[in-house]
């Protein structure tokens, strides 16, 4: 792979204010980017890691909906170097002007931060979403942007035509120049190079700074608030807009068994649950371990996991877990400071931080959010009607136990100390 480090001065705005209604109840107490993922990450860690790994170290995180848990995570996990003023990940809330008390859309969110663009005077502004699981070398997109003398470049994911109606679709000329935007079309336009696929917008944009500033000011005058619905379609005829084919993005350290161009939207509980299957197994579609392109997250200082016995197969464990004897854990993600008591059985489950699974409890296809105690002998995932009386059960039968109310200070036990909160 060629070394294509960008010579440009780039700052990034990460749109992290999403409510994520379809992820309820996981998003009932936190914004979607703050939802935990895998054995140690948050969803937001993936876009931030891509930016930092790409050498883009000036990052503003635009937050809005129930952002406190996300803010705490950023404060503890994403301090880069206070000695270098150009290296930071900083949270930016809405400006709370008289005419608006919140971000009205993606374009309005960046418009409210125009002063930050003027402060840094970058060559390029990257505007990226915070809701997806993927790896991306943004340098290669910048190279494409410069090579095509684009004003705006949009990252595009080739998707099968039969699934394209679920996405915002970009139609292009043979050279990649955008000629049409289609929002979840019944008849999507195919890629010029592949009639069986269409370009889906990934919601990741590169703008030449002067183009972005002018476009945002115009959008504000016109009452336009969203990039995908308003600003980009209007600019298509007057500016050079190009689609960058994400399937051509090369990441160092990717293993032969991984899915090339892996990108997933975890917008629903079922999608969130299914993507976790992709990080499990001997040959995961998405292997979280890649020293050449790491996913950064919390610098948690607790002890390692303690596994005292049991039958364990194809599972991942976070730090400071305690797994007792005579347990059975199969195809599961168990996050940090979770205790699984003797005789408990977990199958196809996601158990988040600070949870206690009681003796002889049996859980199948269940997500347990943080700060919960599952009482001894509880059964979840075996009686859909009974589960539905207490918890959310998805159409595919996944049971979701919402975030509990156990205080961090009350978590001390004979298994480990009072905890290391984040």
Tell me the DSSP string of 13-57. EEE-----GGGTTTTSSS-GGGSEETTTEETHHHHHHHHHHTT--
Please give the average per-residue pLDDT across 120-130, as a whole number. 96
Domain 306-410 -> CATH class: mainly beta
CATH 3.40.309.10 fits 10-265, yes or no: no
| Amino acid 412: pLDDT | 47
| Amino acid 301: pLDDT | 85
Instruction: Assign 363 a pLDDT band (cuts: 50, 70, 90).
Output: very high
The ranges assigned to domains in the chain are 10-265, 306-410
CB 202 within 8 A of CB 228: no
Q: Is the pLDDT of residue 1 over 70?
A: no
Q: Is the pLDDT of residue 379 over 90?
A: yes
CB 405 within 8 A of CB 371: yes
Phi, then psi, of 270 in degrees rounded to 5: -65, -45
- Pick from 269, 418, 276, 272: nearest CA to 354: 418
Say which residues have a Cβ less than 8 Å from residue 335's Cβ, sequence separation at least 6: 36, 39, 40, 318, 321, 351, 352, 353, 355
Q: Is the pLDDT of residue 162 over 50?
A: yes
Q: What is the CA radius of gyration of the chain?
A: 22
Query: Considering the chain, what percentage of its residues have pLDDT values greater than 90?
Result: 83
Instruction: Assign 266 a pLDDT band (cuts: 50, 70, 90).
Output: very high
Instruction: Assign 80 a pLDDT band (cuts: 50, 70, 90).
Output: confident
Give the number of other CB atoms < 10 A from CB of residue 81.
10
Instruction: Assign 19 a pLDDT band (cuts: 50, 70, 90).
Output: confident
Residues 388 and 371: their CA atoms lie apart, in Å, by 21
Please give the average per-residue pLDDT across 287-292, as a whole number. 96
Please give the average per-residue pLDDT across 218-238, as a whole number. 93
| Amino acid 160: pLDDT | 95
Instruction: Assign 417 a pLDDT band (cuts: 50, 70, 90).
Output: very low
| Amino acid 413: pLDDT | 47
| Amino acid 81: pLDDT | 74
| Amino acid 420: pLDDT | 43
| Amino acid 18: pLDDT | 78
Residues 167 and 394: their CA atoms lie apart, in Å, by 22
CB 367 within 8 A of CB 398: yes
Mapped onto helix, strand or coil, the DSSP state of residue 313 is: strand
Q: Is the pLDDT of residue 411 over 60?
A: no
What is the pLDDT of the chain when averaged over all its residues?
A: 91
| Amino acid 100: pLDDT | 56
Give the number of other CB atoms < 10 A from CB of residue 228.
18
pTM above 0.85?
Answer: yes
């Amino acid at each position: 792979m060629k070394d294509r480090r960008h010579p440009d001065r780039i700052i990034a705005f990460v749109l992290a204010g999403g409510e994520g209604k379809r992820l309820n109840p996981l998003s009932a107490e936190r914004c979607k980017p703050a939802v935990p993922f895998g054995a140690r990450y948050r969803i937001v860690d993936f876009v931030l890691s891509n930016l930092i790994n790409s050498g883009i170290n000036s990052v503003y995180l635009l937050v809005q909906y129930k952002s406190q848990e996300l803010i705490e995570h950023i404060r503890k996990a994403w301090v880069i170097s206070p000695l270098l003023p150009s290296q930071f990940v900083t949270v930016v809330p809405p400006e709370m002007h008289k005419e608006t008390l919140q971000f009205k859309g993606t374009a309005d969110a960046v418009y409210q931060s125009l002063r930050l663009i003027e402060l840094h005077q970058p060559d390029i502004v990257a505007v990226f979403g915070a809701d997806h699981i993927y790896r991306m070398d943004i340098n290669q997109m910048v190279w494409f942007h410069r090579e095509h003398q684009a004003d705006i470049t949009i990252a595009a994911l080739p998707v099968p035509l039969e699934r394209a109606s679920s996405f915002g679709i970009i139609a292009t000329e043979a050279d990649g120049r955008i000629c049409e935007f289609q929002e979840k079309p019944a008849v999507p336009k195919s890629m010029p190079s592949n009639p069986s696929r269409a370009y889906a917008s990934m919601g990741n944009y590169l703008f030449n700074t002067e183009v972005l500033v002018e476009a945002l000011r115009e959008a504000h005058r016109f009452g336009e608030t969203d990039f995908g619905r308003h600003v980009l379609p209007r600019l298509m005829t007057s500016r050079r807009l190009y689609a960058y084919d994400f399937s051509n993005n090369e990441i160092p350290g990717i293993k032969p068994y991984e899915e090339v161009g892996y990108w997933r939207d975890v917008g629903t509980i079922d999608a969130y649950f299914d993507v976790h299957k992709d990080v499990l197994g001997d040959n995961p579609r998405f292997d979280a371990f890649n020293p050449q392109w790491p996913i950064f997250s919390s610098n948690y200082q607790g002890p390692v996991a303690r596994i005292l016995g049991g039958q364990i197969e194809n599972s991942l464990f976070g730090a400071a877990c305690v797994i007792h004897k005579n347990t059975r854990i199969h195809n599961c993600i168990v996050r940090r400071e979770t205790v699984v008591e003797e005789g408990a059985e977990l199958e196809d489950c996601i158990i988040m931080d600070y949870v206690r699974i009681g003796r002889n409890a049996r859980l199948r296809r269940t997500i347990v959010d943080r700060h919960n105690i599952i009482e001894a002998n509880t059964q979840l995932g075996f009686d859909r009607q009974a589960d539905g009386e207490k918890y959310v059960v998805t159409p595919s039968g996944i049971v979701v136990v919402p975030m509990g109310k156990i205080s961090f200070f009350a978590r001390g036990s004979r298994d480990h100390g009072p905890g290391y909160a984040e």
